[in-house]
A and B are shown apart, each in its own frame.
Chain A
Amino acid sequence: MLRITGGKVYDPANGIDGEVRDLFVSEGKFVASAEEGRTIDATGMIVFPGGVDVHTHVAGGAINFARAMTPEDHRRTQAFIRSQSRRSGIGGMAPTTFATGYLYAGMGWTTVNEAAVPVLSARHTHEELSDIPIVDKSTLTLMANNEIMLDLMEKGEYERAKNVVAWYIWAAKSYGVKAVNPGGVAAWKWGKDAKQLTSPIEGFTRLTPGDIISQLARICHELGLPHPLHLHCNNLGAPGNISTTLDTLNHLDGHRAHIAHSQYHAYGGDDWDEMRSETAQLAEYFNTHPNVTTDAGAVLFGDTVTITADGPWQHLLYKLTGRKWGNLDVENETGCGIVPYTYRPSNLVNAIQWSVGLELLLLIKNPWQVFLSTDHPNGGCFWRYPEIIQLLMCADFRTECLKKLPDKIKERITLPELTREYTLYEIATSMSAGPARALGLHHKGNLGLGCDADIVIYEEDKDVARMFGHPRYVIKGGEVVIEEGDIRATPDGHEYISRPHYAPDTDEFLRPLFEDCYTMQFENYPVEMERIEKPAIHDCVPNS
């Protein structure tokens, strides 16, 4: 049992905005009172629910390929020296698994959603996740370029497609559906891309990216998945892609969706020289459509490594940078590209990207709709989130940063006009309560009775980045894991898994198709439940 007394509590899920309250914890949950156990005197301190990352890449074939590609970064970055309480590792652009858990927990994040997992390498991803300590985890299955799925959609077999999606989610032991550049990654197998939502995809006669988006959004709703379709739009990173993004949103037909890293999808202009921010248009859409949420995918200047299933985009980035390029083809399902990248304030495109991420966070009025993310590691590493919090809370600091950008940028961005400053309540919403609700994890990001006791306690500090970078205490499931700047305990986190309903004949339907186009045995494909450490299964209730 644990008591936290006298802290100023920010709990947006229950509308509590900086009230001094006591919290009581028993058996990992919040309870109404606790008589025994340790008392943490949080007088003068700030109490938040533990952070929830709605979109990150921390485990699996792609990030592990990125680790292999960047030994030069491991050498210069933070080393984690083995001690009695923790294992060794490497921080940096693509941290190793143990270090990932320590770094997330070290800044008060206690739940992470690995946003892109092919079913074929799901077994690998779960093995890696079980080596990420402290935080709770979930995964999303890549679905929008799977040839079996696309064939069904092309033939108009919607009901069958729905069953197949449900089957894949359960086979991968994942939590929801991710769509990356719908149709574009399949087209990349031919060295092509899918840039128009209404044009047929390479290798198909009728099927368009727009069809895939509409059907997947509907499937996610009807299966009753806790998290709606998690969508990486077509035309990522390209100047003028705002029209594609808005078009994509219109294809949702009113269904809920989460738009991933919208910073990369809010550009105007016809080419790189003309590129400009179009955040006003995109923010307006979110401000009038409460059924959609997004995460910022904000960019921070410095070195990183970009990894995405968006293979054609990564080929373009390789051609632009001339640096290393990794490309993975995942048989029938998807692909992936990996390119190390440096965002520079002197580079006009990078400066616009930096501004666009912040503009979206500031222009979308409701913090329950826009969440803190860098699309780790694409826009910057997750352990730099406190820098973004500082940028959101301090307009003066933004003005200082803007001075370092090229003069030409002024007509292309709107950031200098934005005076909004996030309050602590809004930060708590955007980093914890909001993403937890979007993920359908109602017992997370919530300090109410019965919820998981994931708590972060900060010492109030004028230096916002320092305050959020170095919490005084982090409590995970009622256990103090970080105290006085040190890791005290490294419990294993849970893994959240959805069990959607599918027709019992789906196995027999898939078997011959599978034997036609996969290189492994059908029986070996689904991940066995015994391989998941501490699974927490959500049984889905279908919607009609």
Chain B
Amino acid sequence: MYWGGNPAECHPRHFTKYALMPKSKFLPRGRKDRTAVLVDIRPTKSAKAADIFLQVRPGKDFELITILRALIKDQKVSEEAVAETGITLEQCTDLIERMKKAKFGCVFFGMGLSMTRGKHMNSAALLTLAAEMNAFTKFVAMPMRGHGNVTGADVIMRWQTGYPFGITFNRGYPRYNPGEFSTVDVLVRGDADAAFIIGADPGATMPQPAIDHLARIPTIVLDPHVTHTSNLAKVHITTAPAGIAAPGTAYRMDEIPLPLKPALKSPYPTDEEVVRRIKQAIVKKPFWMPEGAQMTAAQV
């Protein structure tokens, strides 16, 4: 099941290499041995690849998921509640029956679910549905991420700080609060007095007040291309593109790390090299705390 995602256009290898086509020991006929369902607010190109397309009314994902959760437990749901979602009760019961009959169910959810009205509540509801389906058969759920190696950044932040994003170190140790410490919030409030941007283009995607602040403060961009952010930055350093001319590791959406093997040589340094050289220069400056001083939890 794909929910609120359009892999045909956003993750074009997902069908063929990962979720729908591959033949395997227990699914020797590949696609023919699988049932694919797409839930979305409009029939995207992915709908053609699905056996069943369910067009949910915009903003009604949470309601539909909750109805499905009730139905798998044989709870009654009102006709009106179902009608509001844009899906019929027959479609829901048919879906539930297929889900329960599946030998192994997998739900992939995209930003159409996680970034629309309800946001993380929608994701939580869908994850709960998948967890509860395990009373009947094996079921798992996984987010469809965007932006290249966002999973890798997320994985490393977690092992170094305990948190995936939205982290501040302003008290000398990691603290987490999305909505307060996320980049966009810090910029909009004008809290940051410098910005260091690697492999992202907030100048093209963030709200105007955040972009205005990036233009006010010393902003440094590391990117293989000149981006919107480069144009408002004080410094742009061109780096070798990872995976093409720079080696490294990328984490797949399922958190499996893949080695990047460069096919070309680049005259530009890698991101890693630039960061290391900046770090070496910073080390030469006086430490931010006086020599021998220890900060304690009580002081912060």
Contacts and interface: CB of A to CB of B under 8 A. Distances in A.
Given A82-B172, A83-B295, A188-B138, A96 B255 contact: no
B117 interface: no
A172 to B, nearest CB: 13
B176 A516 contact: no
A288 interface: no
Given A121-B256, A127-B257, A520-B258, A97 B297 contact: no
A124 B163 CA distance: 17
Interface string B141-183: 0000000000000011011111110000101111110000000
Contact of B161 (A88, A327, A519): A88
Q: Which of B23, B134, B162, B289 has the most CB of A within 10 A?
A: B162
B259 A79 contact: no
Nearest to B131: A325
A218 B176 CA distance: 48
B173 A190 contact: no
A320 interface: no
B196 interface: no
Contact of A74 (B131, B176, B289): B176
A64 B137 contact: no
Contacts of B23: 516
A455 B217 CA distance: 50
Is chain B's interface secondary structure helix, strand, loop, or mixed overall?
loop
A191 B173 contact: no
A301 interface: no
B249 A88 contact: no
Contacts, number: 118
Interface string A88-105: 111010101110000000
Contacts of B289: 83-84
Contact of A147 (B18, B25, B159, B297): B25
Contacts of B103: 190
Given A79-B173, A190-B103, A191-B138, A123 B249 contact: yes
A315 interface: yes
Contacts of A94: 162
Interface in A194-215: 203
Given A84-B287, A123-B257, A89 B172 contact: no
Contacts of A75: 175-176
A89 B160 contact: yes
A80 B287 CA distance: 17
A121 B162 contact: no
A303 interface: no
A79 B175 CA distance: 9
Given A67-B158, A88-B173, A516-B25, A124 B257 contact: yes
Contact of B294 (A59, A83, A127, A325): A83
A329 interface: yes
Interface residues on A, range: 35 or more
A97 B131 contact: no
A123 B152 CA distance: 12
A98 B159 CA distance: 9
Contact of B249 (A127, A315, A318, A327): A127
Nearest to A517: B24
A305 B145 CA distance: 26
A67 B159 contact: yes
A131 B158 CA distance: 12
A124 B255 contact: yes
A435 interface: no
A61 interface: yes
A98 B161 CA distance: 9
B131 A131 contact: no
Contact of A318 (B131, B137, B138, B160): B131
A67 to B, nearest CB: 5
B167 to A, nearest CB: 10
A528 interface: yes
Contacts of A59: 159
A388 to B, nearest CB: 25
B107 to A, nearest CB: 12
Contacts of A71: 162-163, 176
Q: Which of B137, B173, B255 has the most CB of A within 10 A?
A: B173
A459 interface: no
B186 interface: no
Q: Which of A75, A96, A516 has the most CB of B within 10 A?
A: A96
Given A90-B173, A121-B255, A329-B140, A517 B25 contact: yes
Contact of A82 (B140, B156, B173, B257): B173
Contact of B26 (A79, A87, A203): A203
B279 interface: no
B43 interface: no
A191 B132 CA distance: 12
A96 B256 contact: no
A128 interface: yes
A55 to B, nearest CB: 20
A68 B167 CA distance: 13
A28 B39 CA distance: 62
Nearest to B164: A68
Q: Which of B159, B164, B255 has the most CB of A within 10 A?
A: B159
A88 B159 contact: no
B226 to A, nearest CB: 31
B258 A88 contact: no
A89 B22 contact: no
B300 A516 contact: no
Interface string B255-279: 1111100000000000000000000
24 contacts: A68-B158, A74-B162, A79-B174, A81-B171, A81-B173, A81-B296, A81-B300, A82-B169, A83-B289, A88-B161, A88-B172, A88-B173, A89-B161, A89-B162, A96-B160, A96-B162, A97-B159, A120-B256, A124-B155, A190-B104, A190-B138, A191-B137, A327-B131, A517-B24
Given A84-B287, A90-B162, A123-B257, 5 more contacts: A81-B173, A81-B300, A89-B161, A123-B259, A189-B104
Interface of B: 17-18, 22-26, 103-104, 131, 134, 137-138, 140, 155-156, 158-164, 169, 171-176, 249, 251, 255-259, 287, 289, 294-297, 300
